[in-house]
A = this chain, B = another copy of it.
Amino acid sequence: MARTGRRPGNPETREAILAAAREAFAERGFDRSSIRAIAAAAGVDPALVHHYFGTKEQLFLDVMQAPLDPAVVIAGVLSGGVEGAGERLVRAVLSVWDSPAGAAVLAILRSAVSNETFAAMTREFVVQRILRRIAKQLRLPPKEAELRTSLVATQIAGLIMARYIFRLEPVASAAPAEVARLVGPNIQRYLTGDLSA
């Protein structure tokens, strides 16, 4: 059967490159990770990395998606409908960040904060993969969807900063269920509350 586009390649090689890239981005951030070093760590030729993943930016996006599929996380959160979605969203976010994937996602956030190109990439990822999906699944009115979901993003981003980067107590050590109970209603206001009040 004829195929167009990039060949999927050997799955084991592909996984080895992804694992090496994830480790490199997590340890050194985006700017200081080279395709050459990632290829060396994976035991392959740099040309093969380009062949499978294209640019370093594309490799990064693949790494971002590798530890977790936002679609799956979000679908779980939102399948219960709009009621209580704020609290479920907080629980889902904390479950990802507290998981082994959390370190990789934290490294991505660090890179995004220190590099404008990278901040833009992360923003696009969050808008397209997460915020629009939330808006669609909760059937937010199209005219309000961007505003409401961007406000949600402000609260989630700050929760992550305070808990995982600044380790601000008592938010940093509180149990996930407790954080969800405290922060959830504020997310819920952004999603479905009266914002003109």
Contact = CB atoms under 8 A, between A and B. Distances in A.
Interface of A: 29, 109-110, 112-114, 119-120, 122-123, 126-127, 146-147, 150-151, 153-163, 165-171, 182-183, 185-186, 189-190, 195, 197
A55 B60 CA distance: 37
B167 A123 contact: yes
Contacts of A163: 154
B183 A151 contact: yes
A166 B190 CA distance: 19
B119 A113 contact: no
Contact of A158 (B110, B119, B155): B155
A13 B17 CA distance: 53
A143 B159 CA distance: 21
Contacts of A159: 154, 158
Contact of A157 (B150, B166, B195): B166
A126 B186 CA distance: 22
A169 B146 contact: yes
